[in-house]
Structure 1
């Protein structure tokens, strides 16, 4: 067995290779023992799952193991988005949440996310303990347990519908009246994921004319990863253009990420959405707590924070670090370039449904303007045009072996610009004299090295990308 490792967002592996029922039982038992060791008296855990192959069966198996080891389980009665499970943890005062999902990964993957009592992902100190205990349990015989039906009959596993409670929370967080007044036409691509009956339903409740794509369950996700990226949303873009829609909205497999298509079919980078929504939240809510972003996220949101004179925080990659700031009430908005976002008073976890609704609210209040028009105005207000890009680099074994040496021998200039600071918070980030930057970081969820860039023009983006490739020997 390949060792079970928790990355930036849980444990993910290929189904039937390392993501097996036996291994899910091991992880569930390790989680149960962790919770009991923390001194919780009859701890409670919310268990949910996504639309992937066998996800409901993996969730049932995990629920049975947790219950057999002294943990009361609230098991969702259907596939449920990650933010919904997070909110249910908070509402029930549970000790945590266990979610069977591989999020936006390709269909051959499944995974397991473990969240704490705040509803947000647990920190590495916790997952390290779980990983260690799993390795210890491998040497022990598996403990027999009662069947799930028997545990349900005893009230140790209870089926729940978390949907009404979560939808009520969205009604509190989003101005549905403003959306209704705008009479918007919106296309929604659910990418065969868990957001069906959530995002599309609340938009219809708000009076929108909604066209839904890929709302049925398909564990193969139509042959592609359920990732709301530019490449995966071309069908949505075509429908938005041809149908005269005001917006195209999408969520990933477990609805913790979002994708935005403007009225002309243009994909709007999540980096830009963060900056636009920070400005929108300050203007409409009067929030002055500031914002937080990961080290890999564009500094456009920093420019808005400076212009609005609110604080800005930077964290490692991984929403668990950003979520801590939401849980502490320090920020109005936190987000990352990979389409994760949450706001003050909500779960310390990514919520793609909420993000899509906030963009809808912003457009509803924009008096007929497009997202790109709002972005152009923002560039004028902050005095800088910023373009962001992420490139996945598949390195050869030789290139991987030389990577550390290359990153320890850095140039003083890149693409003709002086390097003014090197940031090693998470990866290696070179900040340049004109405010542009590049970051090299190994992915925590995929076997790639990622290159992130901020620049002031499309031409400069290409120059920095070429310079970074030369630096890495790619």
Structure 2
């Protein structure tokens, strides 16, 4: 193996967001662009030299090329063992699980998650630490600082590794490249948490499910678990082959982009249970008979209320956590079960701190991410297995479980309105203007509702005392409703303004209303408070989730 030192110059736009560095594919295809960021990871995380690195991605366009580059750079930078998923495939939850199982010093995940793929789509890269979770802010800050001063990177030359074949290659330097089956370790972990015999009995009893892998990484996981291990009929996993462009699909499990699944659930087949996951396998969508979509915020609350029905959580939960924009449905469960509740900024790394400290067992975000103490990432297939475990134990449909939950805890009507690809300056100016008005809003009325409080969320980590500021603007109203405004860090073009609308309804007689109707006054209030149409030219959201 010959190590080359390639001279380079910094790029100005390599600051990681909440989920690593995400850009359009052509940006990553620029000479040295990927290499600069990867070298900055190795420079900022010296423990990787002589250590173990886990590597894989969701198979989107540019994944295979990036994997080869990163393997060569890892070897040149002295990584002792590189564990890579066959053909470069590993779901994000699997990367976390394998880091923890192997005691690895970290992992590199290649994905832009729920963003579209293809030559003109998006690509992403992030570093996961030795706990299996996204790197802490101190690490991502160090990586970014290094990208701004880098002058050269190291890469091995002349390597011919068969990354599509499972096996181990030991180089003359003693370094090892190990290609593993992407699914095996993950399935083994799931079998420690769930009663696969009970789930198999359910799926072999005539109960009919459909899992939409959206031509993304969870296709092989879904087939192995639901069809091969648990006995669901062949074809129960749809869009099961990972494709570089996701077959033209947008791999975001929400009602807009999972329309095929929802139509199947509402169709003549009379399916009992539907689910979907996203590009890298860390998000989930749950759909009941007839096409009833379970809101992600409701889903995490229902999972928390019923987790004890799965063997891995039979002893109960230590505590629960949600991101601040996520609805307060989980708060009501925590109060009912006398569990500690933590409200964190958006970003799984904040949950990781609580999980590592043993303060929580289950957590979730409104953006369809749910997880637990088994790894340090959100986990789409895990959420589906937990839902199936609840269905099997309670012998109720998804619809019945949701209705029972609302009767006990009340219903939080909730929607997220995404305004995508807004000019970044316009979006930032809108938020800055609203920030400047927060102190004046209490007492004012909008759409027939009176503001009772308004603030900007900041978070003090109860584990290490670190403070994270400017995490979203909150406006509370006198009818137990709230609006949250936040700029997202997961897009690659312009800015995405997310507006979260929530109103609590305790009366079971009013639990069957149309969320759009219930939340319409809040949507009008949000538009008026921010001068949304005047500032952005937008009168309708791009996505309602």
2:201 maps to which of 181, 187, 195:
181
Residues 145-154 or 349-358, more deviating:
145-154
2:400 alignment counterpart: 373
Please report the RMSD computed on the Cα atoms of aligned residues, expressed in angstroms.
Answer: 2.0
Q: How many equivalent residue pairs?
A: 467
Whole-angstrom CA distance in 1 between matches of 2:91 and 2:149: 32
Deviation at 1:168, TM superposition (A): 0.8
Indicate if the aligned counterparts of 1:291 and 1:311 stay in contact, CA closer than 8 A.
yes
CA deviation map 1:426-471 (0-9, x unaligned) = 1111233343211101111122111012113633411011101111
Would the alpha carbon gap of residues 262 and 63 (structure 1) be closer, same or farther in structure 2, given more than 3 Å must change?
same
2:124 alignment counterpart: 111
Indicate if the aligned counterparts of 1:32 and 1:71 stay in contact, CA closer than 8 A.
no
TM-score (structure 2 length as normaliser):
0.81
Indicate if the aligned counterparts of 1:240 and 1:247 stay in contact, CA closer than 8 A.
yes
1:195 alignment counterpart: 218
Confirm whether residue 246 of structure 1 aligns to residue 272 of structure 2.
yes
Deviation at 1:97, TM superposition (A): 0.3
Indicate if the aligned counterparts of 2:72 and 2:155 stay in contact, CA closer than 8 A.
no
1:333 maps to which of 356, 359, 362:
362
CA deviation map 1:1-51 (0-9, x unaligned) = 451121111111111224546222112211112222x5x661211111212
1:259 alignment counterpart: 285
Would the alpha carbon gap of residues 347 and 399 (structure 1) be closer, same or farther in structure 2, given more than 3 Å must change?
closer
- Structure 1 unaligned segments of length 5 or more: list them: none
CA deviation map 1:322-378 (0-9, x unaligned) = 12222222112101011111113x0011111101111111112231x2222212211
2:145 maps to which of 132, 138, 145:
132
Kindly report which structure 2 residues correspond to 1:392-431, keeping only aligned pairs within 5 A, or say none.
Answer: 392-394=418-420, 395=422, 397-398=425-426, 400-410=428-438, 411-412=441-442, 413=444, 414-415=446-447, 416-420=449-453, 422-425=455-458, 426-431=471-476
Confirm whether residue 442 of structure 1 aligns to residue 484 of structure 2.
no
Q: Secondary structure at the match of 1:293?
A: strand
Indicate if the aligned counterparts of 2:54 and 2:106 stay in contact, CA closer than 8 A.
yes
Kindly report which structure 2 residues correspond to 1:313-328, keeping only aligned pairs within 5 A, or say none.
Answer: 313-328=342-357
Deviation at 1:166, TM superposition (A): 1.5
Confirm whether residue 432 of structure 1 aligns to residue 477 of structure 2.
yes
Whole-angstrom CA distance in 2 between matches of 1:357 and 1:335: 16
1:468 alignment counterpart: 526
Q: Secondary structure at the match of 1:391?
A: strand
Confirm whether residue 355 of structure 1 aligns to residue 363 of structure 2.
no
Deviation at 1:196, TM superposition (A): 1.9
1:209 maps to which of 233, 239, 256:
233
Would the alpha carbon gap of residues 119 and 398 (structure 1) be closer, same or farther in structure 2, given more than 3 Å must change?
closer
1:122 alignment counterpart: 135
Deviation at 1:404, TM superposition (A): 0.7
2:99 alignment counterpart: 89
Whole-angstrom CA distance in 1 between matches of 2:282 and 2:106: 17
- Structure 2 unaligned segments of length 5 or more: list them: 1-10, 162-168, 459-470, 506-514, 533-545
Whole-angstrom CA distance in 1 between matches of 2:179 and 2:308: 39
Would the alpha carbon gap of residues 229 and 145 (structure 1) be closer, same or farther in structure 2, given more than 3 Å must change?
same
Deviation at 1:422, TM superposition (A): 2.5
Confirm whether residue 77 of structure 1 aligns to residue 89 of structure 2.
no
Runs (4+) off by over 6 Å:
none
Kindly report which structure 2 residues correspond to 1:383-394, keeping only aligned pairs within 5 A, or say none.
Answer: 384-394=410-420
Would the alpha carbon gap of residues 326 and 74 (structure 1) be closer, same or farther in structure 2, given more than 3 Å must change?
same
Whole-angstrom CA distance in 2 between matches of 1:207 and 1:378: 29
Indicate if the aligned counterparts of 1:50 and 1:56 stay in contact, CA closer than 8 A.
no
Whole-angstrom CA distance in 2 between matches of 1:402 and 1:207: 52
Whole-angstrom CA distance in 2 between matches of 1:208 and 1:365: 18
Indicate if the aligned counterparts of 2:19 and 2:490 stay in contact, CA closer than 8 A.
yes
Would the alpha carbon gap of residues 143 and 65 (structure 1) be closer, same or farther in structure 2, given more than 3 Å must change?
closer
Residues 432-441 or 14-23, more deviating:
14-23
2:8 alignment counterpart: none
